[in-house]
A and B are shown apart, each in its own frame.
Chain A
């Protein structure tokens, strides 16, 4: 066959036919190319989209595990509440963005329309709380306290409330057994954010849109264990959502329970007594500032001496953790985080740091022994110690003559440590370090674990600081510019300090080292660090990582994963020195600075050890410290702007011991009254159905107020004169500060008084 026509076909038609043919083929070519592009080049993306198209997921959230106290009493669990939620996507489809519906809803719920609308708006940089910081595609809870009547109203008139649901949901409950609160230790939950979902997408514990995530405390630290795994059922569906394939189901796994070493009863006692001590401190007059003590914050840690487990941990001011459940209100949020709130969310036991004052002296003593000074040597406890014209006074300018280091701890003699620290400072090279400087006082502090986190199983622990030569250098570098700018020779006190710092802030001055040796100046410690150290002294020298979690028990009780105590170091002292220090700390109770607080204590049956501390803070009232231990427990209490160690915290700490051991104010021991005469060893039993056989808790009845007279009578004598004067305040502080002003650095802002 041929393409040449036989008849009189005109070339015009022939050409046009060829054009048609080319056109047709190019059209088909276009289709082929487009087909290739869609199927081969972009095929994977479309395949993904197709699978997303026809698979529907039904998510069943896992029940969050409970947090139990050492005996199984739930301190955080779940309860069923009627939750009213609004779907933002549904509301935005309406002409007025759901305004009318929300207003009507507010009427039913008895809330202000504005409050309801605020809860539904999304959080951003400009939007203050309350706002929704979870996913905008997830129903936003408006209230979790709807009554059955309100829920019925909403459900029965669902056409009036498009996008609003009222469903029973399991919500977190912080039960507060026996009146305990435990707020900062427990932490709180809030909805997962988009970023967290993206971040956790490819890990083995991805988040769901509806997830609540632990934001602080145990809820955050053990979030993974508590959260469990949501059940996901995948259905293959058609375009109308009808199920066409077989369902694949991963059943929900309830979160594990966390058994803690907290004892709710002891926790309650600790909280009550801390608060009570702070209240009483506010009735005390501070001669230094000529007003009552403010006692604006405090913390107490009760720890098992031989394991580092935390039996109670209280921080004051505190808050009700239930405020977070179901979304926090604007008022509550301001109360918790506002400028005038004094930050009750902070767990001051691990996040509050202050100079330790004289409870630091056990470290100075260890440093001195390590540096070669005999523990039982004779050291002059003079009434003052001067360095190049600068006079450092002993407390109340009282002299005790030559005493050994143990006695120096008992009576909290400052000048003994001034002298030793000054000698060591000179040996290390003075202002500028020798090449082979030992820096005993600083090295020992590091070895005791100061300047580093203890590793407690709670988030955001702070490390404190040891103001050694390196820190001074770094700190000076960081602040030099601003000091030099602000500082002025002969200007105001602050300007003068800045001026000095600008010139020689990087140098370790004799005054710095001397101040540091009695726990004043730039050193910062946390209550949990001090509890860890005093526990170590009690248990023979092991520094344990403090733990709150004791075991993770699966929801059915079958799998128990114990959290064993873990040590992070040993005290850098010999057994003999440890014994010496232990003896000195017992002496503090029997004849030293805390004796007046422990009159009538059954010392023969329950040997008590203690050290008082009072740290001065520039521009503020003194910080009270009280570190104590028995062979079972260590208790450290601190009260900011609370006065002296034994004065403010003494009775409170004693009462916690009394509750633990069942000791009456007169010294008799009643084991039946004792809450926890020995640390709780066994774990609570969790049945396979998830129920827990928890003992009932009686609320704490504080013992009848014992007056000082009865205490004194029971102890068989009046408190020693030194201690009695300590109570009346640190009226010497100002004088001493004045004497050091001429040459002291910023370190001289904080001075010793005990």
Chain B
């Protein structure tokens, strides 16, 4: 294990054998947050099985290979895992210096979506097709760069010891930084991602210790914005329909309300233990659309029942619970803000995704972290896990 010194906190520790270094009390491996790591891995592998179950019969999308999506999901998980290790290896503090470049890159990518390079999937013009069957959803990465960028700005003076809380100017700058990519994503339009970003901004502001006025002001602006968006007709028809169907699921069972209705039937029919893996009639019969991505939770609901679907919620709960601990225990505000942003992101996206399949949230095209099929999302959430680990690892050991 070369470069172990880099992982040492102090860098001045005595030379030790690789194994003893790995098992040592202050070793990186011992200091990693294992519950988060194992939960994320478990979610990813459950996702692989569920994605496989949902796609093995869908010959029209799996190119005749029933393992097509399974292999790709596992590949994505592997890449995501490597990205996590890379993030931990670099450390969030190192990344802190690279934030302006990363931010600029991500904004550039989302701008590319608006050019002819962009592609539309499910009504959202949010993709860049890379060729060879690969495509990128840059809005996933913007979520990270917004968190990092805002954290950098907000924490700078506080961590330097100048101020107890970020001042109004800093907050304004941070909001401006978030607003730019949000506007662009709004233009795509990818309303789901914008909603996630709003929540991220809210979480970040809360954790930064910014004045209550900003928090409530942002909430007010959000509400006002929602009304304006509705009134000005910025939304596409399909988005309005989704809300209408949410308000009244019986509206048109074979049209707009169809997705949510079928999703609920799938989950409801699972019962306590489910119909058994690969034995769900709703899944096998492909009654639920987008079942490997946005509606992957319905596969768990139908085939694994309350036990399996509950386990997913539980594992997400472990990740979020540990993330909250990390946010509270880290010494510097930068780490706290980054962790809080990630918590807001994961929590809202999970709640929205599962909530829409359960019929308590309107439909929005958001993937379920770790579980849904999709490279960009998978990479982004694993990078986020890496950031959480990094914050925990680089926190001085408590006595």
Report which A residues bind B (CB closer than 8 A): 1-3, 5-10, 12-14, 16-21, 23-25, 27-28, 30-32, 34-36, 38-40, 42-47, 49-51, 53-54, 236-240, 244
Contact = CB atoms under 8 A, between A and B. Distances in A.
Contact of A24 (B262, B267, B301, B343): B343
B347 interface: yes
Contact of B269 (A12, A23, A43): A43
A518 B201 CA distance: 106
Contacts of B317: 25, 28
Interface in B306-340: 306, 309-310, 313, 316-317, 320-321, 324-325, 327-329, 331-333, 336, 340
Greatest chain B CB density within 10 A among A6, A17, A25, A45 is at A17
A16 B210 CA distance: 11
Nearest to B58: A238
B398 A2 contact: yes
B207 interface: yes
Q: 6 tightest A-B contacts by CB?
A: A46-B268, A50-B269, A238-B285, A21-B324, A43-B271, A47-B269
Interface stretch (B22-30, B179-187, B352-360): B352-360
Contacts of B355: 30-31, 34
Contacts of B332: 7
Interface residues of B, number: 58
A38 B398 contact: no
A155 B347 CA distance: 58
Given A34-B360, A49-B269, A53-B282, A5 B209 contact: no
Main secondary structure of the interface of A (DSSP, over half): helix
A669 B207 CA distance: 119
A54 B358 contact: no
20 contacts: A2-B329, A2-B398, A6-B396, A14-B328, A18-B328, A24-B321, A24-B347, A28-B317, A31-B354, A31-B355, A31-B358, A35-B309, A35-B310, A38-B267, A39-B271, A39-B306, A49-B265, A50-B282, A53-B265, A238-B286
A226 B63 CA distance: 53
A12 B269 CA distance: 46
Given A39-B271, A39-B272, A40-B306, A1 B398 contact: yes
A17 B326 CA distance: 10
A32 B268 contact: no
A206 B176 CA distance: 69
B265 A13 contact: no
Greatest chain B CB density within 10 A among A31, A53, A236, A240 is at A31
Contacts of B286: 238-240
B264 interface: yes
A122 to B, nearest CB: 23
A46 B327 CA distance: 41
Nearest to A24: B347
Contacts of A35: 267, 301, 306, 309-310, 313, 354, 358
A13 B351 contact: no
Given A20-B343, A24-B324, 16 more contacts: A9-B333, A9-B336, A12-B209, A14-B328, A35-B309, A35-B310, A38-B264, A42-B268, A46-B264, A46-B267, A49-B269, A50-B266, A50-B281, A50-B282, A53-B282, A54-B287
A6 B305 contact: no
A51 B281 contact: yes
A10 B286 CA distance: 52
A9 B344 CA distance: 20
B68 interface: no
Nearest to A37: B358
B375 interface: no
B281 A54 contact: yes
B284 interface: yes
A8 B267 CA distance: 47
B360 to A, nearest CB: 5
A42 B271 CA distance: 8
Contact of B340 (A5, A17, A236, A240): A17
A17 B328 contact: yes
B283 to A, nearest CB: 10
Contacts of A9: 331, 333, 336
A21 B332 CA distance: 19
A39 B360 contact: no
B206 interface: yes
B164 interface: yes
B340 A30 contact: no
B203 interface: yes
Nearest to B351: A27
B67 interface: no
A240 B58 CA distance: 12
A5 B313 CA distance: 29
Contact of B206 (A2, A8, A20, A45): A20
Given A31-B313, A43-B269, A47-B268, A239 B329 contact: no
A49 B281 CA distance: 11
Greatest chain B CB density within 10 A among A3, A20, A239 is at A20
Contacts of A21: 321, 324, 328
B316 A28 contact: yes
B243 interface: no
B270 interface: yes
A585 B385 CA distance: 111
A532 B114 CA distance: 95
B45 interface: no
B214 interface: no
A5 B331 contact: yes
A13 B265 CA distance: 43
A35 B264 CA distance: 10
B268 to A, nearest CB: 3
Contact of A5 (B282, B284, B301, B329): B329
A379 B359 CA distance: 95
Contacts of B278: none
Contacts of B327: 17, 20
A387 B359 CA distance: 90
Contact of A39 (B281, B305, B329): B305
Nearest to A51: B281
Greatest chain B CB density within 10 A among A18, A34, A50, A240 is at A50
Contacts of B164: 8, 10
B398 A20 contact: no
A32 B164 CA distance: 39
A3 to B, nearest CB: 6
B7 interface: no
A9 B340 CA distance: 15
A53 B209 CA distance: 52
Contacts of B268: 38-39, 42-43, 45-47, 49-50
B287 A53 contact: yes
A27 B209 CA distance: 23
Contact of B329 (A1, A27, A34, A36): A1
Given A13-B333, A28-B317, A50-B281, A40 B301 contact: no
A51 B270 CA distance: 12
A23 B266 CA distance: 28
Contacts of A39: 267-268, 270-272, 301, 305-306, 309
Nearest to A237: B285
Contacts of A12: 165, 209
Greatest chain A CB density within 10 A among B328, B347, B351 is at B328
Given A2-B398, A6-B396, A24-B320, A13 B207 contact: yes
